[in-house]
């Protein structure tokens, strides 16, 4: 059996399958941990609706806790409140930058009247820090990221979009 504190410690070490430098807790998708008779009840809020990693994440949470001796683990998926990049912890944002992904900054895409001829924000390159960057695509290798290029060091990089 694990206490709730021990369970959180185990989860802090479970990496996100897409971005292994940050953990599932740093990403903010583990919302609650409850110890119950003979096991644990975990509440998870997925990131994007179509994120292919959602099922892998639930499985790796289960596997890690069971391996640590948690007994029976059930993972509940909760939709509301919807996941937001504001739940990514500050240390995790630094880890993202060090990994080469510009962390989320500024506001999410706004509703109602969209700005016409939307000009993407100038982001700092996570490699050299230059703000002379351009957006290549609003969607990168996954829906949560956009693709940018740095004009100074000429390296492409991804930007974790705020939602």
Partner 1 sequence: MTTTPAHIEYVTRLGDNALILGQRMSEWCGHAPVLEEDMALANMSLDLIGQARMLLTHAGKLEGKGRDEDQLAFLRTEMHYRNLTLCELPNVDFGRTMVRNFLFASLQVLLWERLLASSDTELAAIAAKSLKEARYHAQHAGDWVVRLGDGTAESHERAQAALDYLWPYTAEFFAANPTDEAIAAAGIGPAWSELEAAWEAVVVPVLNEATLTVPARTPFKSYGKFGRHSEHLGHLLSEMQYLQRTYPGAQW
Across the beta sheet with 156-160, what order do the strands follow?
101-102, 156-160, 145-150, 133-137
Strands (E), 37-144: 39-44, 72-77, 101-102, 133-137
Q: Which is nearer to partner 1, 127 or 135 (CB)?
A: 135
The answer to whether residue 153 forms part of the interface with Zn ion (CB under 5 A) is yes
Token pair in block for residue 158: 């991804």
Partner from partner 1, Zn ion, none binding residue 125, C-beta < 5-8 Å depending on class? Zn ion
Q: Which is nearer to Zn ion, 77 or 152 (CB)?
A: 152
Dihedrals phi, psi of 66, to nearest 5 degrees: -65, -40
Question: Rounded to the nearest whole angstrom, what is the least distance from the CB of residue 20 to Zn ion in the complex?
Answer: 23
Partner from Zn ion, partner 1, none binding residue 110, C-beta < 5-8 Å depending on class? partner 1
Question: Rounded to the nearest whole angstrom, what is the least distance from the CB of residue 153 to Zn ion in the complex?
Answer: 3
Sign of CA dihedral 130, 134, 137, 138: positive
The answer to whether residue 142 forms part of the interface with partner 1 (CB under 8 A) is yes
Give the SS3 label for residue 61.
helix
In the region spanning residues 96 to 135, those forming contacts with Zn ion, defined by CB under 5 A, are 125, 127-128, 130
Q: Which residues lie near partner 1 (CB under 8 A)?
A: 48-52, 79-84, 108-114, 116-118, 136-143, 147, 161, 163
């Amino acid at each position: 059996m694990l206490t709730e504190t021990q369970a959180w410690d185990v989860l802090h070490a479970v990496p996100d399958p897409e971005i292994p430098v940050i953990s599932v807790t740093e990403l903010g998708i583990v919302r609650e941990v409850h110890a119950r008779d003979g096991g644990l009840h975990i509440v998870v809020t997925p990131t994007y609706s179509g994120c292919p990693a959602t099922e892998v994440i639930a499985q790796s949470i289960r596997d890690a806790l069971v391996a640590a001796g948690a007994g029976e683990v059930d993972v509940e998926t909760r939709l509301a409140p919807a996941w937001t990049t504001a739940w990514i912890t500050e240390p995790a944002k630094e880890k993202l930058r060090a990994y080469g992904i510009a962390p989320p900054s500024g506001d999410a895409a706004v509703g109602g009247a969209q700005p016409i001829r939307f000009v993407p924000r100038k982001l700092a390159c996570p490699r050299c820090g230059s703000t002379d960057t351009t957006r290549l695509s609003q969607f990168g290798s996954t829906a949560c990221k956009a693709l940018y290029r740095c004009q100074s060091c000429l390296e492409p990089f991804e930007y974790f979009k705020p939602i």
